[in-house]
Chains A and B, each alone.
Chain A
């Protein structure tokens, strides 16, 4: 990981140019008319002021030469109308460009999330990706990162057109300048250039200071204690304000929350840090603008000196001073833009990393044989697995077979590897050792999308989406309505259906649609179950599907269980051991191993076994004391 300290340091030029090229290509890939349109727009932006300048010079010279006023008014009218039409064109292009730019921005804004839809699962869950996301957010903040490429490309194009304009309109002044006697004009030009160079250098110096402040996220515990306010985190997560607001009230936590939110802004560490930023920003602003402020006056001075030697007219003073100013401004602007690009070079890296993200997991190509008889057999063979970054094995030397049509229950204590086994089965992760076989073939060899079709899973932390109910069940925009209804019925959600005003089109929650409905945890579980049923996969895997249900609702699901599952192969994880009795076979996990396997009666008979211990822990409370 690159530390944040060197965020403002420069990249080797060649690498940097290559990076910018990549970003430009990426932008071009989103919309290939974007850059040509930007060029046209910037050309007009540069041209219009020069048109106005030429017009002013023409009038002034006309006044000096006592030209016929009628003729002049005719020419002025034509020029003014021409400038207006150029303005119309610029406005049209500019507005179209804004629509395009905005759309590209949103696509880019979604890019990380879109990539997350099909990148390796192990990546998504990884701290690396979270860090990358945070880096992108931080890098693009304050208009830097990929944004700086956007802005600076605009600015550089503009400066180039400005240069061309200044050259065309102002070229004759060069000749006059060379012919002017005395060195005063040259001296002033020299002074102006020195001011520009010094200005840019000081600007860069202070800008680095300001950036060091801005991009230096607090890293150590001490820094975080001093200057990391939790205002945003707490205020924007609803569980802190009202769900967990209960605890904060009951336990009198107001003062503690104050310490970590608004009080942080008063801490010495925070104040010191801010004043560093203020100094950098103020210096940056002062020197960058001061240099710019020198241009106008100095250019008029130069041209005045030339005019005083009698070489040019009054109109030309305006014209040449304008051009000279434009020229110096453009050159120093180009330097400014390039230094800006260089300063933000490292902040483009996170975006490039995202664009270039490649999957690491082996991608099989074998199609999964479609079998109408559902004759699939799964075998775990000596599988060991450790979560990335974890120091102990979640599953260790684990072997198990899943036979067709079997109903298997998995029990075990928290952390015994039950959910991990499901994740490996669905190939969300690859095991470090051993292999998982489908009909004798390692599952890595299959096409992942086809392989996934075999499983309908209700995870413990399943997720439903704030979109229409039917789309949630069918996970698509088109669906078979009667089938959706039937699945909801089978899952026990049927009772709520008549109360839904928009029926299957009702959105869940209110995040997307204000007329959406709130659903309880139990109802959510039922919808998730309906989604699994709708998928109609040969394997159905349920991880604690009744945890949020009350005893009666739980009972209802159990009694429907056979109907829901039919002849499919089912794996069922539960803390409530009672539910296991619906299954023919029970697997007992302990510390990442399969320790027992058998029917309830067999397992319960083994009084030294784990199952007996677990069962009794719960059952003792239900035994009649009589």
Chain B
């Protein structure tokens, strides 16, 4: 993966290409939004014509001295039409809001689901994480978010371009030189606006930084987890200082930007004054030469002043679309990432004979630069393309219970992730019953493993859904209870009157089940047992347990592993006694392997580690 070494730069798309992206999106998810937008564009483009034609109409009626009845008829119908147009325009504009706004949640969901389909190692890499967060930012920020602006501004720019063309026709009809002058003025306007846009874009980096600081500080001071520490250590002064500094940073930036904004506004006002003056003088001469009625004077003057309004609107939409495009590029880049192979690979795991034998043959593996393994284990060192394993050879025999030991950072968790397919070896191969595991699709491969990782995943859904991680209709009730019982949590749930349809956590149901640390650990174990995969991997499953509960897990461990190949990682070396074989890792190398007794006799690194721990227990009463 050489391409990932430097910061990820997404492919740049033009504004039109981005508009195309959203049109394709809505064609799939909400076609009605496209219809609404088209209708709104047409109506909105016509509306200003009503407004500027109205004074001319009224003045003409007065100058022609028509009857009151005639005036009432003409202006009455005109007013009704205007009412209808105004109503329809805003009605569609408001009405479509919920329909298009839904895309933000939907895109967010798509990004999330995508993150589960790209290779896992990529998800951990710093570049990919950055890409992911930038893609998420695109749909955040409500109506100001890039993806929302795409819709609103596309409509707006279309309206204004259409209006611009309509007005040009009206003015061109009046006088070609006038139109030419206005077009020249528009170009000046465009140039000024562009320079303003570029200035604002030059602040993007600073703005992103200031925002990042602000939201970071805000979230930090509002983090409930830190509330105890804040009180005990009297951190309020520090926190308020940080907050004021962050807000101060934002204010300085805003002042800078606003000063520039005022400058450009003054240029705009001066240009407008020049244009208006020119228009007045030109039209006055036209009137005095007898070529123009009062009504026409009003109409043309309205058209001329309106003209620059369209240019300004087009420019501000353009600035907004350019800003949005920046985010949309990240969104599209992320959604376009290649996925893990989920379907192909002709082999099926049913063909494999259990228990499985797994062999690491000459495996080398290094973290990509910027990767952060948040397990805490490997993150101990700064991660600049660190090599973890070099030519590692290890065979886990069929039905063997293996214990993996070593200090933090020795590579235990990395080994597990390689084993179950989260990482791909850079060199060498991992063989399952002698077959290279890359011949299986990921979906097949994952079916081989039941893993209890260190971080508990408890979803705010039902017990059944949490246990099986399947939709409620795919949960096998009988097996579910069997697994819960085996893990020692079934009885607890029954006593509380819970069933598989009961919700966990209080997010959905107010009376949802909440587990203590120990119960949670058992539940995770039950999840692994429910899956009943041929390989069982437990990564520090007893860290949150009290001594009694811990000892219970050990006692049942043998039963859990019946007929399976098993790997057990623990800091508490006592657990190794239940394993057929111990593998001691040190800096990614296997330094010792053998049974507990063998290693104790050998008196090496393992024996030393065991002695340190057991020394506290040695004088224990019998």
Contacts and interface: CB of A to CB of B under 8 A. Distances in A.
Contacts of B575: 621
A121 B227 contact: yes
A244 interface: yes
A225 B508 CA distance: 8
B617 A304 contact: no
B94 A426 contact: no
Contacts of A179: none
> By DSSP majority rule, is chain A's interface helix, strand, loop, or mixed?
helix
15 contacts: A63-B287, A84-B269, A106-B250, A195-B83, A241-B115, A287-B87, A290-B90, A308-B66, A317-B55, A459-B228, A476-B238, A575-B550, A614-B548, A620-B551, A623-B622
A224 B614 CA distance: 51
B109 interface: yes
Interface in A308-353: 308-309, 314, 317-318, 321
B617 A618 contact: yes
B87 A286 contact: yes
Contacts of A314: 59, 62-63, 294
Contact of A622 (B105, B213, B276, B574): B574
B471 A113 contact: no
Interface stretch (A362-370, A447-455, A480-488): A447-455
Given A255-B471, A304-B62, A518-B372, A265 B102 contact: yes
A403 interface: no
Nearest to A582: B616
A-B pairs, 3 with minimum CB distance: A297-B79, A293-B86, A621-B574
B470 A253 contact: yes
A563 interface: no
Interface stretch (B152-160, B182-190, B457-465, B484-492): B457-465
Contacts of B447: 252
Interface stretch (A4-12, A21-29, A39-47, A232-240): A232-240
A623 B617 contact: yes
A579 to B, nearest CB: 7
A551 B140 CA distance: 44
A538 interface: no
Interface stretch (A85-93, A378-386, A430-438, A591-599): A85-93
Nearest to B248: A103
Nearest to A69: B288
B407 interface: yes
Interface in A251-267: 251-262, 265
B68 A184 contact: yes
Given A234-B112, A300-B54, A520 B99 contact: no
Contacts of A249: 116, 120, 422, 442, 446
What band does the interface of chain B fall in when counting residues whose beta carbon is under 8 Å from A? Answer: 35 or more
B564 interface: no
Interface in B93-110: 93-99, 102, 105-106, 108-110
A282 interface: yes
A59 B280 contact: yes
Number of chain A interface residues as a range: 35 or more
Contacts of A549: 408, 571
A155 interface: no
A520 B136 contact: no
Given A182-B68, A259-B471, A518-B374, 11 more contacts: A76-B284, A87-B269, A245-B116, A274-B99, A309-B68, A466-B216, A467-B242, A522-B376, A552-B407, A553-B407, A578-B616
A261 B123 CA distance: 19
A454 B21 CA distance: 61
Contacts of B58: 300-301, 303-304, 317, 321
Contacts of A309: 68
B220 A124 contact: no
A279 B549 CA distance: 57
B254 A102 contact: yes
Given A234-B112, A317-B58, A184 B547 contact: no
Contact of B109 (A262, A274, A465): A262
Given A73-B284, A262-B113, A282 B55 contact: no
Contact of A106 (B214, B381, B550): B214
A99 B255 contact: yes
- Tell me which of B92, B247, B451, B547 has the highest count of chain A C-beta atoms within 10 A of its own C-beta: B547
Given A184-B72, A466-B220, A552-B612, A604 B620 contact: yes
A268 interface: no
B204 interface: no
B273 interface: yes
Contacts of A548: 376
A258 B617 contact: no
B87 A250 contact: no
B82 A247 contact: no
Given A251-B527, A289-B87, A612-B621, A304 B75 contact: yes
Nearest to A207: B94
A140 B163 CA distance: 35
